């Protein structure tokens, strides 16, 4: 049986987030401003989100480094187990395969 539950030690904590946008066959459509109906700009997001988060959201890099301050907080709340979402993996794979056939 495949492992589903993972408990990581502090030195096993990930150092980067995976960004699926780097591996999509085409770019996702832009987020629209609900007031204008036009693509939202980073300047419009600044009152709501820190610049680093906005940069991550629009990044095409495959791996985005997790800031040390965030990793430190993660270490405080682990060893909360990670559960692998097999059904979600299957749904994403199915969806990706269908998109590639379009």
pLDDT at 79: 63
pLDDT per position in the chain (102 positions), as tens? 788 898 888 888 889 999 998 998 888 888 899 999 999 988 999 999 999 888 888 888 999 999 999 888 888 876 678 889 999 999 999 898 888 776
Backbone angles phi, psi at 5, to 5 degrees: -105, 130
> Which helix (H) or strand (E) is 37 found in, with range?
none
- For 57, the 3-state DSSP assignment is helix
- For 21, the 3-state DSSP assignment is helix
Asked if residue 71 lies in contact with residue 13, where contact means CB atoms within 8 angstroms, the answer is: yes
């Amino acid at each position: 049986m495949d492992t589903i539950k993972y408990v990581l030690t502090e030195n096993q904590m990930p150092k980067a987030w995976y960004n699926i946008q780097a591996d999509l066959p085409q770019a996702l459509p832009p987020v629209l401003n609900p007031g204008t109906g036009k693509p939202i700009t980073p300047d419009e997001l600044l009152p709501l989100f820190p610049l680093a988060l906005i940069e991550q959201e629009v990044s095409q890099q495959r791996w985005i480094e997790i800031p040390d301050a965030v990793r430190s907080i993660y270490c405080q709340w682990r060893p909360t187990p990670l559960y692998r979402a097999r059904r979600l993996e299957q749904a994403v794979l199915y969806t990706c395969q269908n998109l590639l056939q379009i």
